[in-house]
Structure 1
Amino acid sequence: MDTEIKIISRRRKKYVRSTNRDINIVHRNPNPESHPFEQAREYKRALNSVKMDRIFAKPFLTAMTGHIDGIYCLERHPKYLSRVVSASADGEIRVWDLMRRKTVANVQAHNQFIRGITISKPNGNFFFSCSDDQTIKQWRFSDLRSNVNSEYQKKKKPISTFISEETLRGIDHHWSRHTFVTSGDTVQVWDHKRSKPFQKLTFGTTETSSAIKFSPVQKNVFATAGSDRSVALYDLKISTPIRKVILKNQTNAISWNPMEAFNFTVANEDHNCYTFDMRRLDRALCIHNGHLNAVMDVDYSPTGREFITASYDHTIRIFNIRSISSRDVYHTRRMKRVFVAKYSADSKFIISASDDMNIRLWKSEASKPLLPVDRKEKNAIKYRESLKKRYGYLPEIRRISKHRHLPRVLYFMKQQKKKSLQARARKYRNMKMNNPSSVNQIKMRKRFIVKQLK
């Protein structure tokens, strides 16, 4: 009698990897009934991923020293990722190489406080500095390098000097023309080849403008912040002011969104940042809060999705453009009041400068690895990010992802501010219930605006 033998036959290409770098082939049944604990497993993976992010969150990279006074100006190079220019209160300018983390050039540019620095765009061959001595000086990067052996380099003289008849509080360069503007008693428009400003702009008032910034999208439009708590918009094409809004507190810095042409964000003295649409200045698009003291600087990421703020409360915060609260907060024990912060051109790093004479380098993503990762690790990171996004609304995951450690002083300041805001809201609510006619009901996005001028 013949015996029948059943043999299991398989095709080799269905279960064997073609190379050692390929992933192992796993046969999986997609039927959800076969995986009753799928959500529980994914939740646990999301929870572990959030915990790992907090464990590996080490954003601080290095502190670069060299200045002997507080640093109040910082500008990144538009062409080279690792080049940054800084200026301190004693009139010294330093050019830094972030990759080597050291100074590559320095010059004693002014005898007084340097109020602003800007780099010529788009080539970035020159940079300009303005000071309390009412002078604007133009410098060439190649002349300040230490390997240039010439009398010009040894003396380290500027290419040209522009003398202003008014005080200077800020400077910014046009994005495509050989033109730059300065803020002060009036807004002055300068050309590289002229010793005097060829245009002066004013809104009909006597306020002094402090911050000034060109829009990277609408290149002829720029905004200024005045001492009368105003934010004014100007257009070089029509040589006239566009409109103006007066806030309850003074604005310290302005930054334009590089991807959304009409939007800009201002850093205010009332601990908040406000994002505006230049077409409607009667209300803010979003109010960004979280700082415990005046916000001194704001700068957008090149992606246009996030911005950073530098504050008088010794911290740096990272905000999403649509969120009220910050995504992350950076601080160190030795870092003092932060006056300026900038994104790197690839949006992966943050450069900050404070009055403790140090420039600090941070990661924009606190737990992101700096070393290159292979394809498998990239896929694993993407999978963990999708899980965190899917289960991020659950209480435990949200609590861990949003928790940030603050120094003891800032923690108690935060609690005190929270109680003050709660008391103010309770008083407003009681007045509204007992005597509605005595309460002027204004929306939150309009409360900090005094009036708008056109």
Structure 2
Amino acid sequence: MKIKVIYRSRNEFARTNQAELPKIHRNPKPSLHPFEKPREYTRALAAVKIDSMFAKPFIGALSGHLDGVYSIEKHPKNLSCLLSASADGEVKIWNVLERNTFFSVQAHNSFIRGLTISRPNGTSFLTCADDRTIKHWPLNLESINQEIVPFSTFITQSTLRSQPIQQFSWETSESTISAKFNPVEHNIFATTGSDNSIALYDVKSRTPIRKLILDNRSNSIAWNPMEAFNFTVANEDNNCYTFDMRKMKEALCVHMDHLSAVMDIDYSPTGKEFVSGSYDKTIRIFGYDSGRSKEVYHTRRMQKIFTVRYSMDAKFIFSGSDDANIRIWKARKSEPLIVTSRREVQSMRYRNQLKQRYKNMPEIRRIARHRHLPKILYNLKKMKQEMIQSSRRKLDNIQKHSRSKKIKKIPARQKFIVTEIK
């Protein structure tokens, strides 16, 4: 006689230990799940709300400077090391992990305008100030408690040579505000000048490449570390402009959300986004190809921001303002700082995929884009929108009622460019 029985292997259903979740077998047949899309939409809506509820981007502040912080530089090898320079000539080396100083030195007797660390090892750093001197300092974190003195001090010329190695200039050039070398093509560097210009130079060929004149002055410049031919400038007209050095007749993207002059800018090591600090007392994070900011950070006590930097792991942002404080922020506002389990990581990835899939739904887009702003910034934003709409309406009326009908609209990527000099 043949008897049919229901047989189930214990290994397929039983848990190996109490910490393991019960195994659930699910049939993926679509006909058995008729409301899959509505359920996913509800989960995506909940994920966006949770993201806003748990948003705590501010981590802490590093206090110790007696004057405004105008220069910050990150260490290329040590994630917990940060250098800062203030207007009173003091340079501090910070331990970000413990939020205290490794060492501080009175580097200059005047306003420090620039600070940079040698790459790729970070064994020394240089400072320049209003006293017209450049100082070269050693940086050894193992013996940081010892008194440090500069390797050399020189005034516009090196201590090893009586004349500079190379000198670049344009016929109409004025004072230079900032300069940055290309992180990939080390022989190319870009500068911004007080004559509203952006200039490219080639050290290898010892010649200037090209120069671009804008309507307003650019305060800072940053190269994209992943796309070495692209760079972004922080401009006085409240916008940031991304250019391709191979074709500078127009900008690749116009990043506009700030309400006052943009003072500094820095790219994430991933090259996917950059951070900007503004005179309107806010920090904004932009996608490298996005015209609108993804995040805006502000606090009640934070004053005008003059310098911003990404950490080398792209998880944190450092900002320096004229209230003598350095603030630490999360690059992703709701990302937990504690160690997360495998299940939590899977859950966050699933929620992120849902938000990405339904990001264009009206309710989800409204919640994701909503940001609380101080009353002053809110009124400034409203005024700026009215001015933009008014100028567009005026141009439309001119085109509509002009006799020639040949008035062309200048694209936003070109209207701020005055001329290009090659």
TM-score (norm 2): 0.96
**Does 1:363 pair with 2:330?**
yes
Residue 185 of structure 1: aligned partner: none
What letter is aligned with 1:158? P
Q: Answer yes or no: is the 8 Å Cα contact 2:316–2:328 preserved in 1.
A: yes
Q: Which stretch shifts more, 24-33 or 69-78?
A: 24-33
Give the 5 Å matches for 1:43-442.
Answer: 43-142=41-140, 147-148=145-146, 153=147, 156-164=148-156, 193-194=160-161, 196-435=163-402, 437=405, 439-442=407-410
Q: Which stretch shifts more, 138-147 or 123-132?
A: 138-147
**Secondary structure at 1:360 match in 2:** strand
**Secondary structure at 1:351 match in 2:** strand
1:141, distance to aligned residue in structure 2 (A): 1.9
Residue 6 of structure 2: aligned partner: 8
What letter is aligned with 1:71? V
Superimposed CA distance per residue, residues 6-30 of structure 1 (whole angstroms, 9 cap, x where no aligned partner): 6321122222234555543221121
What letter is aligned with 2:421? L
Superimposed CA distance per residue, residues 17-60 of structure 1 (whole angstroms, 9 cap, x where no aligned partner): 34555543221121111111211111111111110110000000
Higher relative contact order, structure no. (Cα contacts within 8 Å, ≥ 6 residues apart)? 2
- Tell me the distance in 1 between the aligned counterparts of 2:19 and 2:162: 64
Superimposed CA distance per residue, residues 172-192 of structure 1 (whole angstroms, 9 cap, x where no aligned partner): xxxxxxxxxxxxxxxxxx6x8
Question: Aligned in 2, Cα 1:22/1:193: closer, same or farther, shift over 3 Å?
Answer: farther
1:147, distance to aligned residue in structure 2 (A): 2.9
CA RMSD, 1 decimal? 1.8
Q: Which runs of 5+ in 2 are unaligned?
A: none
What letter is aligned with 2:374? P
TM-score (norm 1): 0.89
Q: Answer yes or no: is the 8 Å Cα contact 2:55–2:334 preserved in 1.
A: yes
**Secondary structure at 1:51 match in 2:** helix
Q: Answer yes or no: is the 8 Å Cα contact 2:138–2:149 preserved in 1.
A: no
Q: Answer yes or no: is the 8 Å Cα contact 1:339–1:354 preserved in 2.
A: yes
Q: Which stretch shifts more, 411-420 or 27-36?
A: 27-36
Residue 175 of structure 1: aligned partner: none
Q: Which runs of 5+ in 1 are unaligned?
A: 166-189
Question: Aligned in 2, Cα 1:285/1:143: closer, same or farther, shift over 3 Å?
Answer: closer
Q: Answer yes or no: is the 8 Å Cα contact 1:162–1:196 preserved in 2.
A: no
Question: Aligned in 2, Cα 1:289/1:278: closer, same or farther, shift over 3 Å?
Answer: same
Residue 36 of structure 1: aligned partner: 34
Superimposed CA distance per residue, residues 89-118 of structure 1 (whole angstroms, 9 cap, x where no aligned partner): 111111111111111111111111111011
What letter is aligned with 2:149? K
Q: Answer yes or no: is the 8 Å Cα contact 1:115–1:132 preserved in 2.
A: yes
**Secondary structure at 1:444 match in 2:** coil
Aligned identity (percent) is 53
**Secondary structure at 2:380 match in 1:** helix
Q: Which stretch shifts more, 438-447 or 35-44?
A: 438-447
Q: Answer yes or no: is the 8 Å Cα contact 1:431–1:438 preserved in 2.
A: no
- Tell me the distance in 2 between the aligned counterparts of 1:37 and 1:206: 66
- Tell me the distance in 2 between the aligned counterparts of 1:451 and 1:20: 71
Q: Answer yes or no: is the 8 Å Cα contact 1:318–1:327 preserved in 2.
A: yes
What letter is aligned with 2:251? A
- Tell me the distance in 2 between the aligned counterparts of 1:253 and 1:295: 8
